[in-house]
Amino acid sequence: MKHENVIGLLDVFTAEILLDQLRDFYLVMPFMGTDLGKLMKMERLSEDRVQFLVYQMLKGLKDLKPGNLAINPDCELKILDFGLARQAVSEMTGYVVTRWYRAPEVILNWMHYTQTVDIWSAGCIMAEMLLGKPLFKGNDHLDQLREIMKITGTPTPDFVVKLQSQDARNYIRSLSKVPKKDLHFVFSKASSNAVCVLEKMLLLDPECRVSASEALELPFFSEFRDVEEETEALPYDQTLDNADLPLDQWKRKRRGSALLLHNLLGQQRIFLLEYEIMF
């Protein structure tokens, strides 16, 4: 989790002394100032700022929507929230704003999905930065799909046969054929290099989308790219997260972890976020 484009954890502590009294603890994180969603509402972003922000997104890529991306006054970006990645499909697709940035295979549970779902999210956010408004603003799941297909066109037969759900295959085959739109027309004010990035990100078939590392090699990011900065994180160990423990053991582990990290990291106090632990 240590990455310059992922929010850092500077300290963790609890104000409680006795284990039985433990109800909350505090996470200390860098103060960033605003998030990308608020920034886009305040001003239209220039293409060079879009370049810099999307470059940073791709370096620290994870589950994304604009509100998950914190920005400081120097236009430095950090990814804030990883919680959405673990929600059940039924939970996360019910959240309207999140749906606008979700890959179609996740929204409609078409197939097992890979990390390219994050590439779709990044493409939607980049498109919004360039347009000044969301690209796919569906009212429900099926309307979201219709909005997407207005841009991507109707899926090809080769893609439809990959869908795991027979109902999904039947539904797609029943739709009227829609041609793919020319993104150079949709983003007429953007540079050719910017549109090239979107063309490789916003593809219905997840197997055809670029990976984060492939996207970073595109000419659009050459001005900012430093290959030595593009580190890859080790897989996250979810062993403890998936453990089934009694309440008193969870309390003991939470308090022990908080105190240990507090002692290791010292007394830095930049910004406090309180997390209530409901027992």
The H or E element containing residue 35 is strand 34-35
User: What single-letter DSSP state applies at residue 187?
Assistant: T
Residue 211 CA to residue 191 CA, distance in Å, equals 21
HEC assignment per residue over 61-95: CCCCCHHHEEECCCCCEEECCCHHHHCCHHHHCCC
Residue 112, strand partner residues = none
Tokens of 149: 């297909």
Q: In the annotation, is 140 catalytic? A: no
Q: The sheet that has 11-13: what strands, in order across it?
A: 11-13, 24-28, 272-276
> Angle at Cα 196 formed by Cα 154 and Cα 69, nearest 5°?
90
Catalytic pick among 11, 63, 237, 241: 63
At a CB cut-off of 8 Å and minimum separation 6, what does 183 contact? 151, 195, 198, 199, 202
* Beta-strand relationship, 11-13 and 69-71: unpaired
Query: Which residues are known to be catalytic?
Result: 63
